Chain A
Amino acid sequence: MNIEVKQQGDIQVMHCGGSLDADTVTSFKKVAYDLVGAGSTRIVIDCANLTFIDSMGLGVLISLLRRVRQRNGDVKVASLSDEVKTIFEVTRLHRLFEVCADWNTAVRKFDK
């Protein structure tokens, strides 16, 4: 998977591409946890180019959300593909995460 992090004010946007699965979860976790370790508590996961996610990928997103919420922050997800959206809905994660149409919208919602 490829991950590019861009900062928007105090919000970190993780632009993710490829798949978030058992093969890639370690690299995602490293980038995300480094952000939290550096003090980031407002994170957007841009899934525009994310093609697949499995249960281990879902697990790391939840783990990240827990860490950030413990610090009074939040993680929002944006631009879910139909495939990823189906997996979110089956596991009801769309009720746990705020799902936004795109990363710009997610950033704006943080600012409200």
Chain B
Amino acid sequence: MPAEGVFSCALTIKSDTRYLSFLRQWVDAAAAAAGRRLGGRARVALKLALVEAVDNAIFHAHGGDGRIPIKVEITFRDDEATVQVVDTGRGIGHPSKILPGLMSDHGRGLFLMRSMMTSVRSRVKDGRHSLRMKLAI
């Protein structure tokens, strides 16, 4: 059971980009259910981090195989929100905070997660990769 004052919500989706719009609405709904009024930048950070992590799971971890499930979870505590995405990939190591060249048309996903969130942790255990991102709110 979650501790008192903690609101947590989890769901499982397939590896399909059609869920992205739903997931962004889900962030707003979870924040409202947790009784949190998020500032503009926090809302952007949580939605972007979740979408980028799910993009990474769909295209890199699962190679576009729509049958493979992705577990997503969002948790609100007093001064912190956590987004976690679990896939079956090999992990992303240490997400770079170095911005790719301005004219490069790829490589910004990990940078955005690292830049927008307070902390990003990638962990692989028992064949499952967990990307856990925290934001001070």
Contact = CB atoms under 8 A, between A and B. Distances in A.
Interface of A: 19, 21-23, 52, 54-56, 58-60, 62-63, 65-66, 82-83, 86-87, 90-93, 95-96
Main secondary structure of the interface of A (DSSP, over half): helix
Interface of B: 17-18, 20-21, 24, 40-41, 43-44, 47-48, 51-52, 55, 58-59, 99, 102-109, 111-112, 115-116
A54 B40 contact: no
Contacts, number: 74
Contact of A63 (B44, B48, B102, B105): B105
Contacts of B105: 59-60, 62-63, 66
| Most chain B CB inside 10 Å of its own CB: which residue of A22, A55, A58, A66 | A55
Contacts of A52: 24, 47, 51
| Most chain A CB inside 10 Å of its own CB: which residue of B40, B44, B106 | B44
